[in-house]
Structure 1
Amino acid sequence: MIWLTQTQKFGVFFTSAGTLLFLLGVVSLFDAGLLAMANISFLVGIFLIIGTQKTLYFFSRPQKMRGTICFAIGIILILTKHSFFGFVIETFGILALFGEFFATLVQFLRSMPVIGPFLSHPMVAPVVDKLAGVRVLPI
């Protein structure tokens, strides 16, 4: 069981709300208001979960700088009502920043009761592994 402080619980809520608002903004044809609220909620959640100093360190690492710049430009474009272009650039930034977590996420989802057997199916597993960047030994 993971023990979270009260601040981290609020951070999980804000990050989840940001992700949900992000999806709703895309479904509602790139609504700039929903995407802006999603960005703000997501960033507040990240700050609350890992703290200010670790968040600033994460976004300012040299190997993450391209992703940080794309993420920031995407947020600025969304806030200035250029939501489609902001979404595309921000998505590239999110993939550059958080792409290394996808393999861990896939492994976690495979341990879930409903989705796990589907992701572990012999026809689906190679495709998911390739998309998420999961490294599989050749033997």
Structure 2
Amino acid sequence: MVVISEFQKIGIGLIGFGLFFLVFGVLLYFDSVLLAFGNILFLTGLTFIIGFRRMAHFFCQRHKFRSSFFFLGGVSLVLCRWPIIGMLVESYGFVLLFRSFFPMALGFVLSAVNIPYLSAFFSSSSSMV
């Protein structure tokens, strides 16, 4: 069993609130205050979960410099009240940062067919037509 510390529990909550504010900010036509607050909460939660040293090491790796520049530059643009351009730049940096993670996430989602309770939703034998 994985032991989660109190800081990591706080970090999970901060990331959840950050994602909520990001989605809510996009739904309200790119409200710059909500997007900035969501970005700050998301980065703070990430720091609480993995620690400051590991987060700094993740963003400062030599081969991830360009993607970190775009991601943090997009956050800075959102904080300077250019929300649409900032979110586009931030999204591009996010895709570049986590592109090695996407195949693993896709494999997990595709393996949901083998999970007992979720397999009932994905069964192909029953037809709606």
> Does the alignment reach a TM-score above 0.5?
yes
Letter in 2 for 1:48: F
Partner of 2:30: 30
Give the number of the structure whose alpha-carbon radius of gyration is greater. Answer: 2
How does 1:54-133 map onto structure 2 within 5 Å?
54-109=54-109, 110-111=111-112, 113-114=117-118, 118=122
Deviation at 1:117, TM superposition (A): 5.3
> What's the TM-score, normalizing by structure 1?
0.76
Match of 1:52 in 2: 52
The 1:50–1:35 alpha-carbon spacing in structure 2 relative to 1, beyond 3 Å, is: same
SS at match of 1:3: coil
TM-aligned CA distance change 1:116 to 1:78, over 3 Å: farther
Unpaired runs of 5+ residues, structure 2, are 125-129
Mapped to 1, the partners of 2:85 and 2:67 lie a distance apart of: 16
Aligned positions, number = 120
Matched letter for residue 14 of structure 2: F
Cα distance in 1 between the residues matched to 2:32 and 2:105: 28
Q: Offset of 1:51 from its aligned partner? A: 0.5
Task: Evaluate the alpha carbon distance shift between residue 16 and residue 99 of structure 1 in structure 2; reply closer, same or farther with a 3 A threshold.
Answer: farther
Q: Tell me, in whole angstroms, the C-alpha distance in 1 between the residues paired with 2:64 and 2:75.
A: 17
**How many angstroms does 1:28 deviate by?**
1.1
Deviation at 1:116, TM superposition (A): 9.0
* Cα deviation 1:9-38 (Å, max 9, x = unaligned): 111111121122111111111110111011
CA spacing shift, 1:32–1:11, aligned 2, 3 Å:
same
Identity %: 32
User: What amino acid sits opposite 1:91 in the alignment?
Assistant: S
Structure 1 pair 90–6 and aligned structure 2 pair: CA distance change class (3 A): same
Give structure 1 stretches of 5+ with no counterpart: 122-139
Task: State how far apart, in whole Å, the 1-side matches of 2:66 and 2:22 are.
Answer: 21
Amino acid at match of 2:39: N
Q: CA separation of 1:115/1:14 partners in 2, compared to 1, >3 Å: closer, same or farther?
A: farther
